[in-house]
Copies of this chain bind each other. A is one copy, B any other.
Amino acid sequence: MSADKSAEIVLSLEIDDPGLADRLTALLCNVSGIRLAAPGERAAATVVARDPRGMPEDIALTQRELDVLALMAEGASNKMIARQLGISVHTVKFHVGSLLDKLDATGRTDAVAHAARRGVIEL
């Protein structure tokens, strides 16, 4: 067990409000003993702040899009999703396209990552 009091504590930020995120980043990065996590780095603790007011946060996804998204997160290909849902590959690609648009993602990997970050799906 390390009792090193000088070891840095790695913090990651999950903050919706860009202004608050900026202010916290500016404040925390100057604190000795604390370091902000690089992208992908494991953090000892996470600073979270979901949109305080309202915060329904649920992006307007249809039921079908949710179905497709869940299977996408399992690593399923369009063909697999089509077979699973009993629809054609074209329809799957149609829903994936809507998902990429609504989640502001560049690809399916990005879409799953964004959805997981926003709590739309559980990894």
Contact = CB atoms under 8 A, between A and B. Distances in A.
Given A24-B9, A27-B31, A45-B24, A109 B40 contact: no
A75 B122 contact: no
Contacts of A44: 20, 49, 52
Given A23-B33, A75-B106, A77-B107, A42 B11 contact: no
A28 to B, nearest CB: 8
A89 interface: no
State the number of copies, please: 2
Interface residues of A, number: 52
A113 B74 contact: yes
Contact of A112 (B69, B112, B119): B112
A121 interface: yes
Contact of A122 (B40, B72, B107, B112): B40
A75 B123 contact: no
A65 to B, nearest CB: 11
Contacts of A46: 47-49, 122
Interface of A: 5, 9, 11-12, 15, 20, 23-24, 27-28, 31, 33-34, 37-49, 52, 66, 69-70, 72-75, 77, 105-114, 116-117, 119-123
